[in-house]
Amino acid sequence: MSEDFQPESEVPDYLKFDLDAAADRLHRLTVVGRWLFVIFLWLTLGTWSLWSLRKAIALIQDYFTWSAVRYGLIFNPIAGIGLVLCIAMTLSVLIWQSRNILWGLPPRDREHLKAMTIAIRRKGRRHPLWRWVFGQE
């Protein structure tokens, strides 16, 4: 008999659930959370950055050159950094989600999701993600 085998009566209560389904719900929750963060960034930092760059954007609309883009960002460094951060976060979430859709979750990420699911199950209804991962169990 293998060491990993435990009779049903000896399995802790927090392990008596469909681990794969709960991990999939946690993954979907992670995807939604990342996109909500990107939307929040664009609505706050992105809007402010674009508003700060409005004069440079107007100049670029009239006379588009890469020099105009460069100097617009150089003379407004904080707005430029904010805009680059918004674009970088959007691209990183797009690439991450595309990888997961095309090739599936890597085994390491799947194991991490399962471990997080078990940790949420151990904490019980006090965990803030309980309702979304386990529903009304």
pTM of the model: 0.80
Per-residue pLDDT at 39? 98
User: Could you count the other beta carbons within 10 Å of the beta carbon of residue 49?
Assistant: 22
Average pLDDT over residues 55-59: 92
pLDDT in tens, 36-47: 999 999 999 999
Task: Summarize the confidence of residues 4-14 as an average pLDDT.
Answer: 55
**Average pLDDT of the chain, as a whole number:** 88
Question: So what's the pLDDT on residue 97?
Answer: 96
Residues in the chain: 137
DSSP 2: -
Give the Cα separation of 124 and 113 in Å (integer): 16
